[in-house]
Amino acid sequence: MSTTVENIQRQIGENPILIYMKGTPQLPQCGFSAQTVQALMSCGERFAFVNILDNPDIRAELPKVGNWPTFPQLWVEGELVGGCDIVVEMYENGELETLVKQAAARSQVNEESASKDA
């Protein structure tokens, strides 16, 4: 059985765009998660999410993994981007969409080359 930290590391590794949030993208459970997921959805790419309210073990351990104490947390290609203030600021200046679209494009290329190798 894997530990919570191993589970978090697997989630981050398997999902090029991942948000840990309170609630779901359709029903955020806090204002910060709502703002962050709205900015992310505005970029027009698919992303994964983990509802930390349904996963108290992840909620407890993730701040140690990313050295970031609050939620939401946006991870892109294995790197912590940040929380609400950073993500909204990046969205407003155009950086978020560029980052997300590049990650999605690289992920698509990797999936296509992996399916050719299979």
59 is in an annotated binding site: yes
46 is in an annotated binding site: no
71 carries a ligand binding annotation: yes
Residue 85 assigned to a binding site: yes
Where are the strands (E) in the chain, listed by range? 17-21, 48-51, 73-76, 79-82
Longest dimension (CA), the chain: 44
49 annotated as belonging to a binding site for a ligand:
no
Nearest C-alpha neighbor of 101 from the set 112, 90, 114, 85: 90
Q: Is residue 2 classed as helix, strand or coil in its secondary structure? A: coil
Distance (Å, rounded) from C-alpha 45 to C-alpha 104?
7
The verdict on whether residue 22 carries a ligand-binding annotation is yes
Query: Residue ranges for the binding site for glutathione?
Result: 22, 59, 71, 84-85
Query: Residue ranges for the binding site?
Result: 22, 30, 59, 71, 84-85
Query: Residue ranges for the binding site for [2Fe-2S] cluster?
Result: 30
